Structure 1
Amino acid sequence: MSTAHAEDRYVVVVNHEEQYSIWFADRALPAGWTATAAHGSRQECLDHIEQVWTDMTPRSVRASR
């Protein structure tokens, strides 16, 4: 059963490998993740990630090519 509500706010986060996720805006970020300027509803954040995360290959793998 989901505990999420329509009023929940999220922030888009990114890690050192340039992988994206969403996180509840009112919670401390997990270690290794940095908040981006993108925030809003769950769907708004997921839409933003879809637009900006065009290559899901981790940064370290891209750099080794």
Structure 2
Amino acid sequence: MVNDEEQHSLWPAFAEVPAGWRVVFGEDSRAACVEYVEKNWTDMRPKSLRDAMAADDAARQAAQS
């Protein structure tokens, strides 16, 4: 599963998907699910933090121009 902050989680197939999360990888073995997460969640920072840091970097670069 993944949320709006692009954080990933493993979740049992029998359990209801919590609000704010969506399924991005089908039901499979734990090993396959872990492999998917490891390949697709390469930056542990929440999306909002990554976006804020990118905006700060852009503002800093614009100020230096």
Return the TM-score normalized by structure 1. Answer: 0.73
CA distance, structure 1, for counterparts of residue 16 and residue 48 of structure 2? 26
- C-alpha deviation, 1:39, in angstroms: 3.2
- Extract structure 1 runs of 4+ deviating beyond 4 A: none
Percent of matched pairs sharing the same residue: 43
Question: Alpha carbon RMSD of aligned pairs, Å?
Answer: 1.1
- The structure number with the bigger radius of gyration is 2
Amino acid at match of 2:37: I
More strand per residue: 1 or 2? 1
* Larger helix percent: 2
Q: Give the aligned length.
A: 53
Q: Which runs of 5+ in 2 are unaligned?
A: 54-65
Structure 1 unaligned residues grouped into runs of 5+: 1-12
Aligned to 2:43: 55
> TM-score, normalization: structure 2?
0.73
